[in-house]
Amino acid sequence: MLAFCSVNQSEPSGAAAGSCGRASGVGRSKLEGDEDSHIDVLAAAAALIRRFIEGYHEKVEETRVFPRFEKAGKLVDLVSVLRQQHAAGRGVTEDIVKLAVPATDGDDRGRLASSLHKFIRMYRPHEAREDTVLFPAFHDLVGQKEYERLGEQFEEEEHKMLGENGFEKAVTEVAQLEKVLGIFDLAKFTPT
């Protein structure tokens, strides 16, 4: 369920947006095969999504970023869709939490795989739109000085909500989950 993008961490909210992608890849392939599904890893990934993405990143966007676009009358349709996707994502994460329990099999295993697919299907383009449209426009909307000031404020909020080095700890947690699943080595994904 988790994935961290290459967005500069100092950008307001941008680094957290990328965190969703690596996490989302954590379990789907394991569920679809005959391999051990690593339900515990999926549960840990869902907990990280709740804490970092929903509890920090989306909260910052919904309270500090989106209102600026709405007030300025810019990218209002995009912001509306992103808000709807945040709400839908929280519902999908809740489904994953409920289904990522020991002895998940049969229909529940299929529902879990479906929920992971929905999560990935929605958040990949969601992240891409934020990274290529929303955050560059946010920079233009507020200007360099305010952008830097907000970046510092968001980092302070991150520390309050997630503790010192919260982002770095989340990245480390994702890497550990990827290693358990054998998907940490980026070279494995290179077509031959």
- In a domain, residue 1? The reply is no
Q: What is the pTM of this model?
A: 0.81
- Is position 104 within any domain? yes
Count CA within 13 A, CB hemisphere, residue 99: 21
- Count structural domains, the chain: 1
> What is the structure's pLDDT at 38?
83
Task: Tell me whether residue 7 is in a domain.
Answer: no
124 or 13: whose pLDDT is higher? 124
| pLDDT of residue 3 exceeding 70 | no
d(CA 107, CA 105): 6
| Residue at 102: amino acid letter | P
Query: What is the domain-level CATH number for residue 177?
Result: 1.20.120.520
Spell out the SS3 assignment of 42-108. Answer: HHHHHHHHHHHHHHHHHHHHHHHHHHHHHHHCCCHHHHHHHHHHHHHHHHHHHHHHHHCCCCCCHHH
Residue 2 lies in a domain: no
Domain boundaries, position 135: 14-189
User: Is there a domain that residue 59 lies in?
Assistant: yes
Whether the per-residue pLDDT at 184 is higher than 80: the answer is yes
C-alpha radius of gyration, the chain, whole number: 17
Q: Would you say residue 5 lies in a domain?
A: no
The length of the chain, given as a count of residues: 192
